[in-house]
């Protein structure tokens, strides 16, 4: 795919992300303090860096599993069609689950994933999302923990991509087309 030229303007610094992730990890550790083992379910691929940082700050016994859902293709517009491309490896029945998502935008991806996971009857299931675009929400889905509310702009970095690029940025920035 040919890409229109663009630059990335910093929106959230690496330092601000690290501080926020540490604060979220404290809250999550307190919330799940009584669990024998928390299953952290990362939604690929956008949450992979967040998960790596978050689990290292959790003061809990933790298992990590992954699921891949897709709604975007390579475009910057969301679609209501959500496909499960890869399911969890492990069972979550009667277990404590933390679903970790990169961005909640319209909310359709998260809603769909939570519906599927609920049919497996976890004991408790909560959501942590790094970014939230409240102005775009088309469903009533909620994340218990949110890193940052952001405006309705297309963002990249810290695991999040534009057409598979820029996941390796340490900060989060907005995409600005230069022509």
Among 8, 12, 25, 46, binds Mg ion (CB under 5 A): 46
Is residue 47 within 8 Å of residue 100, measured between CB atoms?
yes
Task: Give me 35's structure tokens.
Answer: 């669990």
Of 96, 102, 105, 161, which residue is the catalytic one?
A: 105
Tell me which of Mg ion, ligand IMP, none is bound by residue 53, counting a contact when its beta carbon lies within the kind-specific cut-off of 5 to 8 angstroms.
none
Best CA proximity match to 174, nearest among 11, 6, 4 = 11
* Residue closer to Mg ion (CB basis): 46 or 157: 46
- Applying CB under 5 A, the site for Mg ion has a residue count of 1
Question: Is 148 a binder of ligand IMP (CB under 6 A)?
Answer: no
Question: Is 104 a binder of ligand IMP (CB under 6 A)?
Answer: yes
Question: Is 78 a binder of ligand IMP (CB under 6 A)?
Answer: yes
Task: Give me 102's structure tokens.
Answer: 């990169």
Is residue 146 within 8 Å of residue 163, measured between CB atoms?
no
Between β-strands 6-12 and 83-86, what pairing exists: parallel, antiparallel or unpaired?
unpaired
Best CA proximity match to 18, nearest among 172, 126, 151 = 172
Question: Is 122 a binder of Mg ion (CB under 5 A)?
Answer: no
Cα separation, 79 vs 52, in Å, equals 28
**Residue 43 beta carbon to Mg ion: minimum distance, rounded to whole angstroms:** 5
* Residue closer to ligand IMP (CB basis): 110 or 128: 110
* 106 CB-side CA count, 13 A: 13
Question: Is 147 a binder of ligand IMP (CB under 6 A)?
Answer: no
Q: Which residues bind ligand IMP (CB under 6 A)?
A: 46, 71-72, 78, 101-110, 154-155, 160
Catalytic residue IDs: 105
């Amino acid at each position: 795919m040919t890409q229109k030229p663009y630059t990335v303007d910093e929106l959230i610094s690496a330092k601000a992300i690290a501080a926020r992730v540490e604060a979220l990890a404290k809250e999550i550790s307190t919330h799940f303090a009584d669990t024998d083992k928390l299953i952290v379910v990362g939604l690929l691929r956008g949450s992979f860096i967040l998960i790596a940082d978050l689990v290292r700050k959790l003061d809990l016994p933790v298992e990590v599993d992954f699921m891949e859902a897709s709604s975007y293709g390579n475009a910057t517009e969301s679609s209501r069609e959500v496909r499960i491309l890869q399911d969890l490896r492990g069972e979550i029945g009667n277990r404590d689950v933390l679903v970790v998502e990169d961005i909640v935008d319209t909310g359709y991806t998260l809603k769909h994933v939570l519906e599927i996971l609920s049919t497996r009857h976890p004991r408790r299931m909560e959501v942590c999302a790094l970014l939230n675009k409240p102005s775009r929400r088309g469903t009533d889905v909620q994340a218990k923990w949110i890193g940052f509310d952001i405006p309705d702009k297309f963002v990249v970095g810290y695991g999040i991509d534009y057409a598979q690029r820029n996941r390796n940025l340490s900060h989060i920035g907005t995409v600005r087309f230069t022509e």
